[in-house]
Structure 1
């Protein structure tokens, strides 16, 4: 990566003042003592309310007004997926470092263009793939790098919600790009791929179902986008998958299996598993599958998950200050989007497809 522009004190602007900004970004920016200069949201009243509530000096209904400010060094983008490409592109062109919520983009082409622009501008572009910042995940990664697992040749990523579709823009394909595969699948697939050593993907086979759809929406519980919580949604649109499953093959011969769902008649659970020639591991809870004195053994490690959102933001601010590449950098985002885009393409075509 080209050397990044270094900033001594980081002043942040928020683009998108919805649920994730309120629950994760604002509290943790405050915990780290990072000044929030301005907030922008397509619902201007929401931006003003959040600004007043958190002592943020400036609020806008148009993110372009925020990007004009010289006292904003970096932005956190927490908006519908369809807006990531135009907003991130505009932010980079205005000289701002960017932390963008997942998924990186609607497809791999958009992600690649954003990564190239960030490199040209010598700016940090980081994605909010916060599961890599969990303490238990980092513990497994350290063991992998120390060779404790031998050759890691298999991974399994799982994120099953029995009834957990967020509704709102998440279930509108034109705004989200897809359903649970892009929303929560991106987290466990990225985490497992990272633990496996980030091998180069070469092909993918996926399948999707939409059997429950809008009739299964339970908007009174679980994660809710701000428009749903504030009762701004006038019409329920649900044109994405309920469930996705499949596998990804890698150049080194390894395979990653996955299942993700918002709605299926199955047990709620999530986890990441990797298997190597010497040992394996899964989380949560963190367990190691190994041998002790020649006998099979399961070792339970008490590693607290920590605050992944806090560590994610700490990484972003540190990378901007030091001019270094983040753990969840722009080109990792490109590879993740290549895998997800290929899985959707495979599901449409009914066959395994190459990843280039």
Structure 2
């Protein structure tokens, strides 16, 4: 296998804006098929892919990169489209499927792909609930195939470089990380605001970046043990209405969440992360990683990104990361998974990381429901297990509804 044959399911916003431009730069991947239930979305994405590939092929030819130019042309000429995932999986000899659908469909599609003996990577979040994640974990084990939880932040030059300095011991022992993912909200797509489809709001959509990344910085050898909705905001709805589907409407999911997480290793060594996942802009402290011997933070200046490291005496140094783009990180996650498939190895961010990240989110919802009291991961999992035993097939829906009842309105 020289290149990984990829089929994509769900070719809307995140595919067009992030995955598609990334595939142009990942030589290990050959996108052979696109699938979407919407005919319009499918045709628009097919058209865009051909346009981007042919434009890049023309540029490559002018640069005398004839092999690259021909490869790009061949890729789009052989591209096939489907409206039904089962048909694509049955007809195509795929090595990997990239799932970019709304959250509700993540677990069922991942299980379907794995049942066909195909490797799969799935956009964050892994699923709506921890119980849905466990179904995927079981399917991965049964299939023997490779699953990647697609957290693109791990491949950003900012966080990858930060982790290098952390592991080198420059900051001493990591004590506390402040990390936020905040913007004004995805009003452009109404499904984000529908708990039945999205499974939650800003914490599950946006906050998971900060959750998995803070764990990555702490070290995946540590495990999340305790979660708490953080004062003063906790997990809440800050704004009364949003313009959704062309008019002002109330909504049911959180648009701001502040959460504290404790990560602990087998020897009892721990670090703490304060994360914010917000669709109401940022109001937590600036991003920084605090160790016993120094502090590190990203700084942007004149279109370039620097990592600033301050030592215990106040001395500073900066590492110039250049211009950091959003698409870079998606190139990294796609390239990583393709090389895992080519070498038959598990990715660093696998189904277990994805499931535990969702468990952190839902433990935070439980903490909010209980008056922002700390909740251990084990405590949350027992809570979810009891619901599963009581509700059977309805368990995931019941768990989702019960946890979201705790969201407060400010």
1:318 has 2:339 as partner: yes
Moved more, 185-194 or 236-245: 236-245
CA contact (8 A) 2:206 2:277 kept: yes
Is the contact made by 1:163 and 1:262 (CA closer than 8 Å) also made in structure 2? yes
Q: Is the 8 A contact 1:192 1:273 kept in 2?
A: no
> Which deviates more from structure 2 when the two are superposed, residues 74-83 or residues 191-200?
191-200
Q: Contact (CA 8 Å) 1:167, 1:238: kept in 2 or not?
A: no
Cα distance change, pair 161–57 in 1 and its aligned pair in 2 (3 A): closer
How many Å apart are 1:181 and its aligned residue? 0.5
Counterpart selection for 1:205 from 228, 232, 246: 228
Counterparts of 1:94-133 in structure 2, within 5 Å, are 94-133=116-155
Alignment partner, residue 143 of structure 1: 165
Looking at structure 1, the residues matched to 285 and 20 of structure 2 have their Cα atoms a distance apart, in angstroms, of 26
Contact 1:271 1:283 in 2 (8 A): no
TM-fit CA distance, 1:86: 0.3
Alignment partners' CA distance in 2, 1:23 and 1:271:
27
Q: Which residue of 1 aligns with 2:370?
A: 349
Task: Check conservation: 2:8, 2:33, Cα contact below 8 A.
Answer: yes
- TM superposition shift of 1:322: 0.6
Q: Contact 1:14/1:77 (CA < 8 Å) preserved in 2?
A: yes
- Alignment RMSD, CA only? 2.4
Q: Which residue of 1 aligns with 2:352?
A: 331
Aligned-pair CA distance for 1:165? 4.5
C-alpha distance in structure 1 between counterparts of 2:275 and 2:79, whole Å: 44
Structure 1: gaps of 5 or more residues = 1-6, 220-227
Deviations 1:87-142 (A, max 9, x none): 00000111111110011111222223312322332211112210110112111111
Aligned partner of 1:43 in structure 2 is 38
Q: Determine which structure has greater relative contact order: mean sequence separation of CA pairs < 8 Å that are 6+ residues apart, divided by chain length.
A: 1
Q: Kindly provide the CA deviation profile for residues 58-83 of structure 1, in whole angstroms up to 9, marking residues without a partner as x.
A: 22222121121242221100011111
Deviations 1:242-299 (A, max 9, x none): 11112112333322112221025x67x99642211122212254221214xxx31232
Contact 2:208 2:277 in 1 (8 A): no
Distance 2:119 2:203 in 1: 27
Name the counterpart of 2:183: 161
Partner of 1:13: 7
Q: CA deviation at 1:164?
A: 5.3
CA distance in 2 between partners of 1:39 and 1:309 (Å): 18
TM-aligned CA distance change 1:234 to 1:58, over 3 Å: farther
Q: Which has the larger radius of gyration?
A: 2
Match of 1:223 in 2: none
Unaligned runs of 5+ in 2: 51-75, 301-306, 379-410
Moved over 3 A (4+): 162-167, 233-237, 269-272
- Whichever structure has more helix as a proportion of its residues is 2
Given the two structures, how large is their TM-score scaled by the length of structure 1? 0.85
- The corresponding residue for 2:202 is 180
